[in-house]
Structure 1
Amino acid sequence: MQLNSLIARQIVERATNIIKYPVNVMDENGQIIGSSDPSRLYRTHEGALLAIHDNRTLEINHSVASTLSGVKEGINLPIVYQDSVIGVVGISGKPEQVRNYGELVKMTAELIVEQAALMAQIQWNKRHREELLLQLIQGSTLNENQLLSIAERLDLDLSQPRVAATVKVIPKPGEPLTLEQLQQLVHLLEYPERDNIVGIVSVSMNEVVVLKPVTVVEGTWNKTEEKKRAKRLLKRIAQQADFSVKIAMGEYFAGLGGLSRSYATAKATLACNAESKESILFYQQHKLSVLIDGLKQDDWRREQLTHPLDKLGEKDAKGVLLKTLKEFFAQDCDLAQTCAALHIHRNTLRYRLEKIEQITGLFINKLDHKVQLYLAIKCL
């Protein structure tokens, strides 16, 4: 740990709020890097050099001060961190007047140093956690032993089965997304869930990814428990944050290499349900939609699949037949439920389905034809 001008300035500000005497902070080379008297900055303080060399409190009266460079009368106390002297804090004034404040100012300085070191360690851990997360979800070039070694240094257990979840922040209408909101979400995901590996993958895409430990029994993980946890997170966000979120949980794949596949399924689930009002999405519950969504990006395949619906549209100006077909599939091809949802008679439904068959040339009672119509609806 090294003193810098920012830490030194904090020490000076805190100390001068406690005592009325001028305060200086010197680094390990005896240079003044913080002072209540700006004119003394960046000068070498010979008294500090002596305090550092001997690791002792040094009182300097007027006569001694006149023999040293850059020194005024006062008291100088070494700043110790982890049994090493990293600098000196000095109080200017007659030694008999400032002596009683020495230990108080020294303790204040060392507390600020410890706090700064802790914050630096937290930031180091956070940065390296994010780097590890990116390695895992993007398909690392490192081998498994290297990844495990990095995780061990970060006190993370990669032997636990994990699934990837992608979380999208949704700001209030008319308000922009901020980095502070993403950082607040990361904090909410990390605490109290301390085993989560969390990182901001893309600020522009407001994407936060979390690798969550799960319990796997015979290749299956407990989605019910994860849904409960997700609901608890939504509740905390509603209470503490000024934004909402949408969470997409990917599938579980064994091994570290499976995490990139889990992330791919989570990201695809979120992408193909962008307009959904659901706050919690599971890949398994939207699996077909996610897999079909890839077809939408393939022009000729999509064109082939939706061609029957194009023909239907030419003969169905008001969209009644298309609406009927959508509802028929939404009700899992149950005639009674479809009639109830559309508020029509069973004979009316049969008539409409027959018209659909005539126009498209696809017969609903033939499995292959039914699948073609279903995929066509999904590709719209």
Structure 2
Amino acid sequence: MQLNSLIARQIVERATKIIQFPVNVMGEDGLIIGSSDPSRLHRTHEGALLAIHDNRTVEINDTIASTLIGVKKGINLPILYQESVIGVVGISGEPDEVRNYGELVKMTAELIVEQAALMAQIQWNKRHREELLLQLIQGSTLNENQLLSIAERLDLDLAQPRIAAIVKVIPKQGQPLTLEHLQKLVHLLENPERDNIVGIVSVSNNEVVVLKPVTLVDNTWNKTEERKRAKRLIKRLAEENDFSVVVALGEYFPGLVGLSRSYETAKATLACAKGNKEPILFYQEHKLSVLIDSLLQDEWRREQITSPLEKLREQDSKGVLIKTLKVFFDQNCDLAQTCAALHVHRNTLRYRLDKIEEFTSLKFSSLDHKVQLYLALKCL
């Protein structure tokens, strides 16, 4: 830990609120880097050099001051951090008058140094956590031993199973979104869930990524528990902030290389769910839509898949048949359950299904035709 002008200035400001005497702060080279008298800045203080060299308090009277360069009468005390001298704090004045304030100012200086060191460590951890996360989700070329070594220094256990989740921030209407919103979200994701590896990966897309631990049972993780956690997060955000979120959770894949694959499934799930009003999205529940989405990027393929429904729409001005078809598939093609969900008689449902077959030229009795209709609905 090294003193810098910012920390020195904080020490001077804090000390001068406690005592009415001039205060100086010198670095480990004896140079004045903070002072209540700006004219003394950037000058060598020989009294401070003595205090640093001998690790002792140096009192300076008029006689001693006349023999040293850059000093005035007063008292100079070494600033210690982890038992090492990193600088000196000096109080100008008659030694008998300022002596009683020396230990108080020294203690104040050392508390400020410790606080600065703690904040620096927190920032270091935060920066390296984000760097580690980026390497993991991008499928870093670093070998596993290097990644594990980095994680160990951050007190993170990469051996435990994890999945990737993307949390997309949605600002409330008319409210601007700032970096502070994303940072607040990161804090919520890290506390109290301290095993989460969290980072802002896209400020422009308002996205935060979490590599979160999961418990595997028969190589499967508990979706119910993760849904509860996501709901708790959404509730906390609703109570405390002016934005909401959508959470997309990827699939589990073993090993460190699996984390990048998990991230890709979460990203694809989020991209595929545009227009979906669900706040919590699981790749497993949208797997088919995600997988076919990449296959239908070509316009002509999408047109081929959706053309039967376009024909149906032309004949279905009120959307009754489209709704019927959707509910039919939602109920796993069970006629009784579909009738119950739509509150219609079985004959009415049969009539609607016949009309769908007539307008689309696809038969429900054909598995191939039925799959085409199902995929077409997924592409809407």
What TM bracket, shorter-length normalisation?
Answer: over 0.9
1:341 offset after TM fit, Å? 4.1
Return the alpha-carbon distance in structure 2 between the equivalents of residues 187 and 136 of structure 1. 20
Q: Distance in 1 between matches of 2:280 and 2:218?
A: 25
Question: Per-residue displacement from partner, 1:254-295 (whole Å, max 9, x unpaired)?
Answer: 111100111111112222223223222211122122223223
1:104-156 CA-partner distances (Å, limit 9, x unpaired): 10011011111111111111111111101011111111111111111111111
Question: How far apart, CA to CA, are the structure 1 residues paired with 2:132 and 2:244?
Answer: 27
Tell me what 2:36 maps to.
36
- Answer with 31-40 or 240-249: which moved more: 240-249
> What residue identity is the alignment partner of 1:310?
E
1: CA distance between counterparts of 2:344 and 2:225? 40
Please tell me the residue identity of whatever aligns with 2:175: E
For residues 74-112 of structure 1, the C-alpha deviation after alignment (integer angstroms, 9 at most, x for no partner) is 100111111211111000111000000001100110111
TM-score w.r.t. the length of structure 1 is 0.96
Matches within 5 A, 1:64-143: 64-143=64-143
Deviations 1:50-95 (A, max 9, x none): 1111111000112221222211111001111112111110001110
Does residue 303 of structure 1 match 2:303?
yes
The residue that corresponds to 2:352 in the other structure is: 352
Which amino acid in structure 1 is aligned with residue 297 of structure 2?
Answer: Q
Contact 1:272–1:293 (8 Å) recurs in 2: yes
TM-score of the pair, normalised by structure 2: 0.96
- Alignment of 1:329 onto 2:346: no
Aligned match of 2:200: 200
SS across alignment from 1:86: strand
Unaligned runs of 5+ in 1: none
Deviation at 1:352, TM superposition (A): 2.2
Q: Deviations over 1:200-257 (max 9, x none)?
A: 1111111111111111122111122222222222233233333222211111101111
Between the two proteins, the alignment pairs up a number of residues equal to 380
* Aligned residue in 2 for 1:230: 230
Q: In the alignment, what sits opposite 1:374? A: 374
Residue 260 (structure 1) aligns with: 260
Q: CA separation in 2, counterparts of 1:222 and 1:107?
A: 51
Q: How does 1:170-319 map to 2 (within 5 A)?
A: 170-319=170-319
Instruction: Show structure 2 runs of 5+ residues with no match.
Output: none
Range 83-92 or range 228-237, more displaced: 228-237
Find the counterpart in structure 2 of residue 151 from structure 1: 151
The AA in structure 2 aligned to 1:352 is: R
CA–CA distance in structure 2, aligned partners of residues 194 and 314 of structure 1: 55
Instruction: Report which stretch shifted further, 332-341 or 85-94.
Output: 332-341
What is the distance in 2 between the residues matched to 1:261 and 1:366? 35
Report deviation, 1:296. 3.8
Match of 1:5 in 2: 5
* More deviation, 202-211/324-333: 324-333
CA separation in 2, counterparts of 1:322 and 1:240? 40
Cα deviation per residue 1:132-188 (whole Å; 9 max; x = unaligned)? Answer: 101111111111111111111111111101111111112222111111111111111
Q: What amino acid maps onto 1:217 in structure 2?
A: V
Work out the CA distance in 2 between the residues paired with 1:341 and 1:232. Answer: 30
Deviations along 1:291-315, whole A, 9 cap, x unmatched? 2322342222211111212222333
| Aligned mates of 1:228, 1:312 — CA distance in 2 | 40
> Secondary structure at the residue paired with 1:3?
coil
Q: Deviations over 1:315-337 (max 9, x none)?
A: 33444333332232233323334
8 Å Cα contact 1:74/1:95 also seen in 2: yes
> Hey, what does 1:320 align to over in structure 2?
320
**Aligned residues: percent identity?**
81
Whether 1:162 and 2:162 are equivalent positions in the alignment is yes
Find the residue that maps to 1:245 and give its secondary structure.
strand
**Distance (whole Å) between structure 2 residues aligned to residue 298 and residue 115 of structure 1:** 57
Letter in 2 for 1:22: P
